[in-house]
Amino acid sequence: MKRKLSLFLAVIMMLSFMVATLSSCGDKTDETLDKDTYNISILFPGYALEQSYEYQKQVQDAINEKLYNDLGFKVNVVCNSYVDQYETMLALDLANKMSYDFIRTTNGTAAGYAEKDIFVDIKPLIDQYAPDLWDLIPENAWAECTINGKVYGIPTCSFPISYGLWIRGDWLKKLNKELPTSLAELEALCEAIKTNKEINPNGKVIPMAGNRDIMEFVFLGMFTDHPGDYVDENGNVQPKYLDPGYRKFVEKLAEWYKKGYIDDLVTNGDENTINSLISKDMVGIHVANVYQLEYSTLNSYNAQKNLDMKWIIPFKADTKKYYSSGFGSDIISFPVTGKNTEKAFQYMNWYYNNQENSDLVLYGLEGVTYERSQDPETGKEKLSVPADKLSDTVKTFNDLKGFHGANVFTRLQLLYTYNSRPAESAKAYDSCNTDEILNNCHLDVTRYFQTTLPVDIATKSADSRNVLYSRTLDMITGKVASTDAEWDKLRKEWENLGGKQVYEHYTKLYNENKATLSFLSK
């Protein structure tokens, strides 16, 4: 369940390692603003901000000219960022009642704050200023941002699915094979990688690698309609582990393990390790998230194009239901300490799903901070820093203009591609964001219970889940046989550890929140 941040721990961590760097851009105080201009303070992760940028004021003035014409007010955007330990520093700031008008965070982090009423319930603001958002954003995304009927954030949304397979394209060419379109073709590719003497001269190459959790996200939906916890026909919440299809999934991974298609990375593999092994010609297929090629160590792809990495989503031919990790993982929340919450909400909504406005906020001025071209590989418009402005210190739009906002709606995030984004990444993002996939997703019911479990239920949940997880992992690696007797034994042990009581509690929560969770029965 959603973890709680300990404010005491946050303070201790801050004193132990002040590794985070907070910088800001925008320097006007309330006293220096005219009556139509409002300071909007934003916090987001991951950037080292300068105090000033060459075109910061020029872009801010252009934003304000259009914003004033559209909404009748102006803003002075003050951007703040922590490069490291973002969640820890955010917890400390909120405990100290730092004034931020809106922040970028994740659902898992925000839920704990929302329960303590640290974020504004923005439902009235949406009703007044942005009613179209109710229909634009999927129901389950709103559910991820709702506690006790209060909406504590705007999901910037993500992809219906975000996991699949990254495959060495250069090896496909060596093997004279196309991208697999079914489970059977994937197995044939693994066998070909394993037995090819040029690719695997010493027998140490791992055809396919991925952590067991990620493999579950990708492959479980090929064996069951319930690749996550679900509500059965009687209205009871049930664990995915005890669905008959889960056993088939475990047995398929056990078969691959025995054949040498996967190895012990299924038990402890992490993305960085596997990506490194790909670069060292030790792995051919990475079962991973869609962001790998752009944001992980595989971004070295930009200097290793010979790998020709290719992406595929879970196979349409075999998949009963795609597993969806949800849409609301990245959200914009409005702390109660904000000084200009209403104007901040209006400003954020002004550019959130408007192409012209979001271009201005995120990229600045065309011909000044960015230029457009056509990308022949993706067919998309490509945005680039003007060539005459590139330097050792200027590599991105933000290096020229600073920051004037946070995330926008997914549709606008995918509208363009960039010099820093491999073409295959752009294609991968598009493949994960189709109506066909959206309409065939399984939504894990228990992720929508935005509440703290009672201590005894939380303990039983952890203990009973751990035995299911560890025992099925033993089956995958051949330490325990997958027999009827073993599965019966596992179910009984799960019940003895309180697993049944946990899901009875989940059923109670589901029944109490049916109005919010109605989409789960569709």
| Whether 184 and 221 share a structural domain | yes
Q: How far apart are CA 400 and CA 394, in angstroms?
A: 7
For residue 425, being part of any structural domain is answered with no
Q: Does 11 score more than 50 pLDDT?
A: no
Better pLDDT: 36 or 7:
36
The percent of residues in the chain predicted with pLDDT above 90, rounded, is 68
| Whether 178 and 152 share a structural domain | no
Q: How confident is the model at residue 27 (pLDDT cuts 50, 70, 90)?
A: low
| Whether 120 and 179 share a structural domain | no
For residue 143, being part of any structural domain is answered with yes
Contact 42, 79 (CB under 8 A): yes
Q: Which domain holds residue 515?
A: 451-521
Q: Does 346 score more than 50 pLDDT?
A: yes
Please say which residue of 336, 354, 372 terminates a domain: 354
What local confidence, expressed as pLDDT, does residue 3 receive?
40
| Whether 182 and 266 share a structural domain | yes
Q: Does 200 score more than 50 pLDDT?
A: yes
Q: Which of 27-31, 71-75, 462-466 has the lowest mean pLDDT?
A: 27-31
| Whether 58 and 184 share a structural domain | no
Angstrom distances, CA of residue 512 to CA of 449, 505, 509 = 10, 11, 5
Q: Does 282 score more than 80 pLDDT?
A: yes
* Coil, strand or helix at 147: strand
Please say which residue of 314, 339, 354 terminates a domain: 354
Q: Both tokens of residue 498?
A: 């309180």
Q: Both tokens of residue 435?
A: 């109506």
What local confidence, expressed as pLDDT, does residue 55 receive?
97
Q: Does 21 score more than 50 pLDDT?
A: no
Q: How far apart are CA 12 and CA 492, in angstroms?
A: 42
Q: How far apart are CA 415 and CA 353, in angstroms?
A: 11
Q: How confident is the model at residue 64 (pLDDT cuts 50, 70, 90)?
A: very high
For residue 105, being part of any structural domain is answered with yes
Mean pLDDT of 172-190: 98
What are the start-end ranges of the H helices in 280-422?
A: 292-295, 341-352, 355-363, 397-401, 410-413
Q: How confident is the model at residue 300 (pLDDT cuts 50, 70, 90)?
A: low
- pLDDT tens column, 456-504: 999 999 999 999 999 999 999 999 999 999 999 999 999 999 999 999 9
Q: How many CB atoms lie within 10 A of CB 367?
A: 9
Angstrom distances, CA of residue 332 to CA of 85, 184, 237 = 18, 42, 30
For residue 232, being part of any structural domain is answered with yes
Q: How far apart are CA 78 and CA 312, in angstroms?
A: 40
- Rounded to two decimals, what is the model's pTM? 0.84
**H or E element, residue 425:** helix 423-431
Strands 310-312 and 230-231 come out as: unpaired
Q: How many CB atoms lie within 10 A of CB 302?
A: 13
Q: How far apart are CA 275 and CA 300, in angstroms?
A: 10
Q: How many domains does the chain divide into?
A: 3
Q: Both tokens of residue 52?
A: 């000033």
Average pLDDT, the chain: 89
What local confidence, expressed as pLDDT, does residue 304 receive?
76
The percent of residues in the chain predicted with pLDDT above 70, rounded, is 90
Mean pLDDT of 252-279: 94
What local confidence, expressed as pLDDT, does residue 143 receive?
82
Better pLDDT: 117 or 58:
58
What local confidence, expressed as pLDDT, does residue 521 receive?
58
| Whether 239 and 333 share a structural domain | no
What local confidence, expressed as pLDDT, does residue 159 receive?
84
Type of residue at 168: R
What local confidence, expressed as pLDDT, does residue 439 receive?
84
- pLDDT tens column, 353-387: 999 999 999 999 999 999 999 999 999 999 999 99
Nearest to 112 by CA among 140, 153, 81: 153
| Whether 339 and 320 share a structural domain | no
Q: How far apart are CA 121 and CA 124, in angstroms?
A: 7
What local confidence, expressed as pLDDT, does residue 28 receive?
58
Contact 315, 430 (CB under 8 A): no
Nearest to 361 by CA among 416, 411, 405: 405
Q: Which of 53-57, 128-132, 339-343, 390-394 has the lowest mean pLDDT?
A: 390-394
What local confidence, expressed as pLDDT, does residue 29 receive?
53
For residue 390, being part of any structural domain is answered with no
| Whether 462 and 483 share a structural domain | yes
| Whether 314 and 167 share a structural domain | yes
Task: Estimate to the nearest angstrom the gap between the alpha carbon of 263 and the chain centroid.
Answer: 26
| Whether 314 and 341 share a structural domain | no
Q: Does 71 score more than 50 pLDDT?
A: yes
Instruction: Find the CATH number of the domain harbouring 204.
Output: 3.40.190.10
| Whether 314 and 332 share a structural domain | no
Q: Which residues contact 161 (CB under 8 A, 6 or more apart)?
A: 313, 314, 322, 323, 324, 325, 432, 437, 441
What local confidence, expressed as pLDDT, does residue 17 receive?
37
**H or E element, residue 288:** strand 283-289
Q: How confident is the model at residue 424 (pLDDT cuts 50, 70, 90)?
A: very high
| Whether 22 and 128 share a structural domain | yes
Please say which residue of 306, 324, 342 terminates a domain: 324
* Coil, strand or helix at 57: helix
Mean pLDDT of 100-124: 86
For residue 59, being part of any structural domain is answered with yes
Nearest to 262 by CA among 198, 210, 196, 201: 210
239: DSSP letter:
-
For residue 443, being part of any structural domain is answered with no
* Coil, strand or helix at 54: coil
For residue 439, being part of any structural domain is answered with no
Nearest to 475 by CA among 483, 466, 485: 483
